[in-house]
């Protein structure tokens, strides 16, 4: 619930910026804030916040190449154990705007406990955000392991 409040607060903070500054810059800042909220919601297993961030038709491509619908992704979050993903941290985020579509790219680091051992993995992500009813919502997401 805290994540949802943060998402809504950040979104409302950037609304005046759009009126005063370049709307593209405002969209970039908003999407970066939403990406960070996504990481926090994922870490906290906040499915309500994730539900708001993802479009109902969203398609996710996991780092193993498998596909998930929004429902499957949220179900996986609900079923995961608290120790499965202890920390999800963005290392970099870049956003490009094309009309009402934003493409966020970057790298995130996840710290997991697998078979009692701490494992740190890094993935490059590409998330596609779309402006719907004056709000940004993620319509597609993918992750690819970074081995170097």
- Residue 93, beta-bridge partner list: 106
Between residues 61 and 84, which one has the greater pLDDT? 61
- Residue 143, beta-bridge partner list: 125
Give the model confidence (pLDDT) of 93-148 as tens digits.
Answer: 999 999 999 999 999 888 877 788 888 889 999 999 999 999 999 999 999 999 87
What is the three-class DSSP state of 34?
Answer: helix
- CA gap 10, 143 in Å, rounded: 25
Q: Which residues contact 141 (CB under 8 A, 6 or more apart)?
A: 58, 59, 60, 61, 125, 126, 127, 128
Query: pLDDT category, 79, cuts 50, 70, 90?
Result: confident
pLDDT value at 18 more than 50: no
Query: pLDDT category, 20, cuts 50, 70, 90?
Result: very low
Give the total number of structural domains in the chain.
1
Judge whether 132 and 145 are in contact, CB under 8 Å: no
Give the model confidence (pLDDT) of 38-53 as tens digits.
Answer: 988 888 889 999 999 9
Round the average pLDDT of the chain to a whole number and report it.
Answer: 84
pLDDT at position 144 is 93
Instruction: For residue 50, give the CATH number of its domain.
Output: 3.10.450.50
* Residue 14 CB coordination number (10 Å): 20
**According to the 3-state scheme, what is the secondary structure of 109-126?**
EEEEEECCEEEEEEEEEE
pLDDT value at 75 more than 70: yes
- CA gap 91, 40 in Å, rounded: 14
Residue numbers of the domain that contains 9:
2-145
Provide the terminal-to-terminal Cα distance of the chain, rounded to the nearest Å.
36
pLDDT at position 61 is 96
Helix spans in 21-140 (H): 23-44, 47-53, 70-79
- CA gap 12, 81 in Å, rounded: 33
Report, as an integer, the average pLDDT of 8-20: 48
């Amino acid at each position: 619930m805290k994540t949802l409040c943060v998402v809504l607060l950040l979104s409302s903070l950037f609304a005046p910026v759009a009126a005063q500054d370049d709307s593209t810059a405002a969209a970039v800042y908003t999407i970066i804030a939403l990406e960070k909220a996504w990481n926090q919601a994922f870490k906290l297993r906040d499915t309500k916040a994730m539900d708001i961030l993802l479009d109902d038709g969203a398609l996710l491509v996991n780092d193993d190449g498998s596909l998930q619908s929004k429902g499957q992704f949220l179900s996986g979050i609900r079923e995961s154990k608290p120790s499965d993903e202890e920390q999800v941290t963005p290392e970099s985020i870049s956003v490009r705007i094309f009309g009402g579509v934003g493409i966020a790219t970057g790298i995130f680091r996840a710290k997991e406990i697998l078979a009692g051992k701490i494992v740190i993995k890094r993935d490059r992500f590409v998330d596609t955000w779309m402006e719907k009813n004056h709000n940004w919502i993620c319509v597609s997401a993918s992750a690819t392991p970074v081995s170097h």
